[in-house]
């Protein structure tokens, strides 16, 4: 064999995660449907079998056996790899370094990686494939929340919590924006226009990746979410850690809240029928008569009146009940006032938030150092066990 011929290298999930940010691309060799359900963060879909082809090969395997299925699969995979090399991957340079994976690190990723390695690229194949990644996500989302310090941003609907998180991130703070990851504003009216929510698995992968990129020595600002953000469920260990954390409570005048909400929910103002359809979900809580009143306001374009009524009769009572039930430390939260709906008002609130939580930030920074020092001290004073001779 030519000494310069490359072979694809198999790496464990731990090795792959350690190199995540070193790979130029992560290629998902599974079918488009599998990729859409969930994939490694930032992975590109590079299917060696499309959805229909995968079903065709699987059906042939069940009907006639492995040999015929593998022969068909090999022909299809070869053509698809050629298409990838002449299409999406045609511009990759000589020093390109990808990670390739499939469902379990077997035939599909192996076929693609072998061809790419023989071309001369330095290719890693994920041992265990997507299944190994998924197991790691589940394990880390159970362990990591207890190892992080969260600072909660609480406040009634429309008080600018999500916008405050954006400003905090712009000032260099660490932020976990669950609503952005879930593509949902977290209420019955929170569906975003023309933006489908991720699957539960992919939502968890996005949360995992945000936590992976965070510095455990620094706090993470997060909104006081419910267990569900639309259809996405916040992992149990994470919601428990958030609800046990300290933070700030944002206060804003009703006029500011209405302005922010009408700005964020502009799609309802542009298409009132969307809002009217969503309001039907509130019938069990408020009855047909009340929903009829809100519907009439929407049809008449009485938006400030409608928003204020929804806040007074639905959102504020629900928020107060939820916070009293789930955030036992709310009374100790620092109070942050947002005086207006303009960017400079939110920027000022972000600066106030950082100042109000400076003590917590310092504690979060010092805690790992104190823990390391205590561990070192315990090791230094621990009695040594005499070792027996060999």
Counting Cα atoms < 13 Å in the Cβ hemisphere of 379 gives 6
The C-alpha atoms of residue 117 and residue 104 are separated, in whole angstroms, by: 19
Question: HSE (CB half, 13 Å, CA atoms) of 80?
Answer: 24
Tokens for 368?
A: 């790992």
Contact residues for 129 (Cβ-Cβ < 8 A; gap 6+): 101, 102, 103, 104, 105, 106, 109
In this structure, are residues 267 and 193 in contact, taking their beta carbons and an 8 Å threshold? yes
CA-based nearest residue to 43, from 29, 27, 30, 32: 27
User: According to the 3-state scheme, what is the secondary structure of 237-298?
Assistant: HHHHHHHCCCEEEEECCHHHHHHHHHHHCHHHHHCHHHHHHHHHHHHHHHHHHHHHHHHHHH
User: Three-class SS of residue 225?
Assistant: coil
Phi/psi of residue 248, nearest 5 degrees: -130, 155
Can you tell me whether residue 21 is helix, strand or coil?
coil
Q: How far is CA 264 from the centre of its chain?
A: 21
Give the residue among 217, 195, 153, 202 at the shortest CA–CA distance from 36. Answer: 202
272 neighbors 193 (Cβ within 8 angstroms): no
Catalytic site includes residue 102 = yes
Beta strands in the chain (DSSP E): 9-11, 25-28, 44-45, 98-101, 124-126, 150-155, 174-176, 220-223, 228-229, 232-233, 247-251, 334-337
Cα 113 to Cα 318: distance, rounded to the nearest angstrom: 53
Helix axes 107-119, 66-86, angle to 10 degrees: 40
Give catalytic residues, as residue numbers.
Answer: 102
């Amino acid at each position: 064999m030519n000494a310069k011929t490359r072979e694809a290298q198999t790496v464990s999930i731990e090795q792959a995660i350690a190199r995540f940010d070193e790979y130029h691309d992560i290629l998902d060799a599974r079918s488009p449907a599998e990729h859409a359900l969930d994939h490694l963060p930032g992975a590109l879909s590079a299917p060696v079998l499309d959805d229909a082809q995968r079903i065709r090969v699987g059906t042939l395997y069940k009907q006639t056996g492995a040999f015929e299925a593998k022969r068909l699969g090999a022909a299809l995979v070869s053509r698809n790899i050629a298409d990838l090399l002449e299409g999406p991957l045609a511009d990759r340079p000589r020093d390109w370094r990808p990670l390739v994976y499939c469902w379990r690190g077997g035939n599909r990723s192996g076929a693609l990686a072998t061809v790419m390695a023989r071309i001369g690229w330095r290719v890693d194949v994920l041992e265990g494939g997507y299944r190994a990644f998924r197991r790691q996500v589940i394990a880390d989302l159970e362990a990591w929340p207890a190892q992080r310090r969260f600072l909660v941003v609480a406040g009634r609907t429309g008080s600018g919590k999500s916008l405050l998180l954006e400003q905090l991130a712009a000032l260099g703070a660490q932020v976990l924006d669950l609503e952005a990851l879930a593509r949902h504003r977290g209420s019955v009216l929170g569906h975003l226009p023309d933006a489908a929510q991720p699957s539960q698995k992919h939502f968890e992968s996005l949360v995992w990746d945000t936590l992976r990129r965070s510095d455990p020595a620094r706090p993470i600002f997060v909104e006081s979410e419910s267990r569900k953000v639309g259809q996405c469920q916040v992992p149990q260990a994470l919601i428990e850690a958030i609800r046990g954390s300290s933070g700030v409570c944002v206060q804003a005048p009703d006029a500011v809240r209405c302005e922010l909400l009408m700005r964020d929910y502009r799609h309802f103002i542009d298409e009132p029928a969307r809002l009217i359809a969503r309001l039907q979900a509130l019938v069990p809580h408020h009855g047909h008569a009340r929903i009829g009143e809100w519907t009439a306001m929407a049809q008449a374009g009485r938006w400030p009146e409608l928003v204020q009524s929804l806040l007074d009769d639905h959102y504020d009572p629900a928020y107060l009940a939820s916070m009293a039930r789930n955030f036992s430390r709310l009374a100790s939260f620092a109070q942050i006032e947002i005086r207006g709906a303009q960017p400079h008002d939110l920027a000022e609130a972000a600066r106030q938030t950082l100042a109000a939580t400076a003590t917590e930030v310092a504690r979060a920074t010092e805690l790992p150092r104190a823990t390391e020092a205590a561990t070192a001290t315990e090791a230094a004073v621990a009695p040594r066990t005499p070792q027996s001779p060999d």
